Amino acid sequence: MYQLNEKIRNLKPYDPISGEYAIRLDANESFFGLPEDLRQEFAHIASELVLNRYPDPLSTEVCEAFADYYQVPVENVTAGNGSDELISIICNSFLEKGDAFLTLEPDFSMYRFYGVIAEGVPVTLQKPETLRIDVDEVIKVCREQNIKLLIFSNPCNPTSLGLGREEVRRLITSVDALVVLDEAYMDFWDQSLLPEFDKYDNLLILRTCSKAFGGAALRLGFAVGSLPLTNALKAVKSPYNLNSFTQAAGAALLRRKEESKAALQEILASKTQLLKDIKALAQKFPGQMEVFESDTNFVFIRTEEYAEIFQYMLENGIAIRKFPGYLRITAGNPEENQAVLKVLEEFFTK
């Protein structure tokens, strides 16, 4: 009888949250649907697709649009089927069986998952009480444990905290490991290392269209790095990783610079308001919630009642994300944020 190998035997399909909820603030998506005229453009793109032919293996058009948006050379850009795919490819190809890789906790859970599937040896460094990254500690662990790959998000999902550029530079230049700097949420902050990516031969920066651009369903992410790293990544990815629709629609999305920037401003305003209002609630009910600063489009809360609050939100039609000891709430539109605040307040007064 066929036996699944041990590393996959007990895995379950990814299911962050099941069920239908009126308000979805659990996945850090943009609360904007894409504008009507862009959707019309997508419809036109779809009608013109040559579907009997394979897509462009190098996703040239969408890489050019990305390169233009962020002002980086297109030769250094690789497109992926979501940045998730890129994380998987990077772990599977830049790690060899038995290589140590370092993740910081809490951080995006898929890093460890893909690293383990790639048969790397996971090393985990717990963040301190502040949840901020202690760069000296990270450097120390990298050196002592012969870390081959370090991966972290900046700003971080789920903590919502960012590590300043100067500290990221110090980290990259102090370790021998490949540093995978996941800037999925960097559109919401201003400390990107993209403008200087080519100063480092051990750096891959990841970006995504799933958050600030409101294109999560397109599945479109990018990696930017030196030519040797980029060429290796392009060589090991599957040839047709991005379908023709995503390539063309993603390029159209990335060309709408003004609209994206306007949406981004509104998302930031929503986050700022939500953060302020949740902090006010935390003051009103002392000892119940500790609210972290936010450099992203979501708010992160430390609370002992995470499970009860999460459940109460679901019962009121609101999906958020829970972690042991914490809650993460994506900034929604003003009505959605109001609904969150109302239900939270109810929870503490009931």
* Paired sense of beta strands 221-225 and 203-208, if any: antiparallel
- Burial-class residue 56 by CB neighbours within 10 Å (0-12, 13-18, 19+): middle
Site pattern 18..57 for ligand PMP (x: CB under 6 A): ----------x-----------------------------
Contacts (CB under 6 A) with ligand PMP, residues 187-216: 208, 210, 216
Per CB under 6 A, the list member of 30, 59, 103, 153 interacting with ligand PMP is 153
> What CA dihedral angle connects 235, 222, 140 and 123, to 10 degrees?
-70
Residue 76 makes contact with ligand PMP by CB under 6 A: no
- Which of 62/184 has CB closer to ligand PMP? 184
Tell me how crowded residue 292 is: count the other CB atoms within 10 A of its CB.
21
Q: Which long-range contacts (CB under 8 A, 24 or more apart) does 68-74 make?
A: 68/254, 68/255, 69/254, 69/255, 69/257, 70/194, 70/207, 70/224, 71/195, 72/194, 72/195, 72/197, 72/224, 73/198
Nearest to 215 by CA among 83, 124, 125, 18: 83
> Shortest approach of ligand PMP to residue 350 CB, angstroms?
32
- Determine the straight-line distance between the first and last CA of the chain, rounded to whole angstroms: 55
Contact between 247 and 55 under an 8 Å Cβ cutoff? The reply is yes
> Shortest approach of ligand PMP to residue 313 CB, angstroms?
19
Rounded CA-CA distance 197/192 in Å is: 9
Tell me how crowded residue 51 is: count the other CB atoms within 10 A of its CB.
9
Site pattern 83..102 for ligand PMP (x: CB under 6 A): xx------------------
- Which of 208/270 has CB closer to ligand PMP? 208
Instruction: Kindly state the DSSP code that residue 242 receives in the 8-state scheme.
Output: S
Tell me how crowded residue 10 is: count the other CB atoms within 10 A of its CB.
7
Per CB under 6 A, the list member of 23, 63, 67, 82 interacting with ligand PMP is 82
Residue 59 makes contact with ligand PMP by CB under 6 A: no
Residues touching ligand PMP, count (CB under 6 A): 13
- Which of 84/187 has CB closer to ligand PMP? 84
What 3-state DSSP class applies to 224? strand
Residue 182 makes contact with ligand PMP by CB under 6 A: yes
- Position of minimal CB gap to ligand PMP: 82
> Shortest approach of ligand PMP to residue 221 CB, angstroms?
4
Pick the piece of the chain touching ligand PMP (CB under 6 A) from 3-11, 82-90, 117-125, 300-308: 82-90
Contacts (CB under 6 A) with ligand PMP, residues 264-303: none
Per CB under 6 A, the list member of 157, 247, 294, 303 interacting with ligand PMP is 157
Residues in contact with ligand PMP by CB under 6 A are: 28, 82-84, 108, 153, 157, 182, 184, 208, 210, 216, 221
